[in-house]
Amino acid sequence: MDRSVDMLDENSNCQTIWNECLKIIQSNISPEHFETWFQPVVPVSLKQQELTIQVPSMFYYEFIENNFWQLLKTAVRHVMGPDGKLAYSVVMGKNVLRLPQSSSEVGSNQPAMPPLPSGSDTEKQGREIVNPFVIPGLKTMNINSQLKPELNFDNFVEGECNRLARAAGFAVAKNPGKTSFNPLFIHSDVGLGKTHLANAIGLETKVNFPDKTVLYVDAETFLQQYIEAAKTQTINDFIHFYQMLDVLIIDDVQFLSKKEKTQEAFFHIFNFFQRENRQMVITCDKSPSTLTGFEQRLLSRFKWGLSADLQIPDKETRVRIIKKKLLNIGVTDIDEEVIDYLAYRIVTNVREIEGALISILAQSSLNRKTITVELAKQMIDKFVQNTIHEISIDYIQKVVCDYFNIPVYQMLSKSRKGEIVQVRHASMYFAKKYTNLSLAQIGARSGDKDHATVLHACRAVENQRATNAKYAADLNNIDKILKNA
């Protein structure tokens, strides 16, 4: 396709140009975000190299501008040429408001720049590699930290699930390279805040030490940069670049698994940081003791500092996360009942909480509906079917206690009454069956019991199930409820 719109019939090609933009957008964001935020958008005009798109509400306009500004700008200029511009037509009841796209980078959660067509193997894989190497005249103060300003400590909701990791991260930011938390190795399942905490550490470090050079890089980018350096025989420059830094934050290090040559380069960088008392923060989806595909000398170094994990947030923490996210986007009029429902229903990770919340707000704005528990149920039931992978222990405890008509707080108490013990045992049994928590973690969340108590509870449930028909039927009913969750 000819990228210059001068030769195009502006009216007939308005939809065609927008379709080309959508191809770039779709390849750089999640299917859920694309369906929610871009499928309702309609191209309405094309005049003098300015494409106007219509969005269904002011909420849509503000969200797209705040989150996808850079992506839209890149897509439009790639399709229409460097002079391409974008404007919005915002539906406001019976009126339509026309607004230009922002001329500065207002987006707070901008996705990665989309790759432009090229013949290189790296770019064919969907990643545009930014040259990270030292060039003549480059000064360390000019290195872009790659940190996202919205992922700060103020927006990181603290709870029992993340208290140790957050405290260690804050200590590192106060005294980088000088604490015993070097490296700080943060690990957890997907979506529990590793990237957020790593960014927060970097941002806080920059506040405390403006002259220090801080860099955030995900391991996939690090890997592709090494591959490019190997092709151009500039591996020494690659290593030297990273040795210029004061603080290195490398995210999702598991992607370096089985990449022996890249690990070799990382090993040299790591040793340099240790020798010079410079700070390294590493995130991973596994603890160092369970990580595979790495040289033993690297694994041992990962354990030199502090290894801190992030757990699935409990219900109380999820409520505070939801309220924080609502506050950040300026929504203050949602009933507590709706928030409570969301906290019970979306349990697997923080990212899914945010996705569900945005879907509900978008649906409310698009259809001009008040956000009620019923609307939340309609949206969340669909959302959960596609995303949920693990039922939370909070939800299991609520279901079991509701079934036996026992308050959750009584089940969590130290009461030894037979009916309370029976409910406590059942909740432990189903927690073991439906979550990935260890026995010790289940016990801690079930009234400060130890792993031996949980093991005893599970055996007691199995024994009683085999000898008590009514109890077996009750367990089957609870099982059905949880399976349909």
What's the token pair of residue 352?
Answer: 């899914």
For 257-269, give one letter per residue: b (16+ CB within 10 A) or e: eebeebbebbeeb
Please check whether residue 305 is in contact with residue 201, taking contact to mean a CB–CB distance below 8 angstroms. no
- Homologous superfamily (CATH) of 5-100 is DnaA, N-terminal domain (3.30.300.180)
Question: E strands of 5-153, at which residues?
Answer: 42-47, 50-55, 85-92, 95-100
Q: Is-contact 345 373, C-beta < 8 A?
A: no
Q: Which two tokens stand for residue 227?
A: 């591959």
> What is the third-level CATH fold of 315-387?
Helicase, Ruva Protein; domain 3 (1.10.8)
pLDDT (0 to 100) of residue 10: 58
Q: What are residue 247's DSSP bridge partners?
A: 214, 279
| Domain covering 394-483 in this structure, CATH number | 1.10.1750.10
Q: For Cα atoms 403, 441, 388, give the angle at the middle one, nearest 5 degrees.
A: 60
What does the pLDDT read at residue 398?
87
Among candidates 187, 262, 191, 252, which has minimal Cα distance to 216? 252
- My answer on whether omega of the bond before 407 falls inside 30° of 0, hence cis, is no
Integer CA distances (angstroms), 428 to 401, 434, 437, in order: 12, 10, 11
pLDDT at 373: 74
CB 225 within 8 A of CB 129: yes
| pLDDT tens over the chain, length 485 residues | 444 444 445 556 888 899 999 998 888 887 777 888 888 899 988 888 889 998 888 777 877 887 788 888 888 888 888 888 888 888 765 666 667 665 433 333 433 333 333 333 333 333 333 445 443 344 444 577 889 888 999 888 888 888 889 999 999 999 999 888 999 999 988 778 899 999 999 999 999 999 899 999 999 889 988 998 888 888 888 888 898 899 999 999 999 998 999 999 999 999 999 989 999 999 998 888 888 889 999 998 998 988 988 887 777 888 888 888 777 777 767 777 778 877 777 666 666 777 777 777 777 776 677 777 777 776 666 655 444 445 788 889 988 998 898 888 889 988 889 899 999 999 999 999 888 888 888 988 898 888 889 999 999 999 999 999 999 999 998 988 887 65
pLDDT (0 to 100) of residue 9: 58
DSSP state of 479: H
pLDDT at site 320: 85
CATH number of the domain at 145-309, out of 3.30.420.40, 3.30.450.20, 3.40.50.720, 3.40.50.300? Answer: 3.40.50.300
d(CA 3, CA 12): 15
Cα angle value 225/226/227 (rounded, 5°): 90
Query: CB–CB of 86/41 below 8 Å?
Result: no
Domain boundaries, the chain: 5-100, 145-309, 315-387, 394-483
Q: Where are the beta strands (DSSP E) in 188-233?
A: 214-218
- Within 13 Å of residue 419, how many CA atoms lie on the same side as its CB? 8
pLDDT of amino acid 137: 40
Q: Which residues of 41-76 are buried (b: 16+ CB within 10 A; e: fewer)?
A: bebbebeebbbbbbbbbebbbbbbbbbbbbbbbbbb
Strand arrangement of the beta sheet that strand 95-100 belongs to: 42-47, 50-55, 85-92, 95-100
| CA gap 39, 405 in Å, rounded | 45
Q: Supply 337's token pair.
A: 């009942």
Count the helix, strand and coil residues of the chain and give each as a percent rounded to the nearest 5: 55, 10, 35
Give CA 113 to chain center in angstroms: 18
| DSSP line for 377-443 | HHHHHHHHHHH-----HHHHHHHHHHHHT--HHHHTS----HHHHHHHHHHHHHHHHH----HHHHH
Could you tell me the two tokens for 390? 């693990």
How many Cβ atoms sit within 10 Å of the Cβ of residue 368? 9
- Whole-number Å distance between alpha carbons of 237 and 242: 9
The one-letter amino acid code at 255 reads F
Does residue 212 come out as left (phi exceeding 0), alpha (psi in the -120 to 50 range) or beta? beta
In this predicted structure, what is the pLDDT of residue 93? Answer: 59
C-alpha angle 27/29/34, rounded to 5°? 95
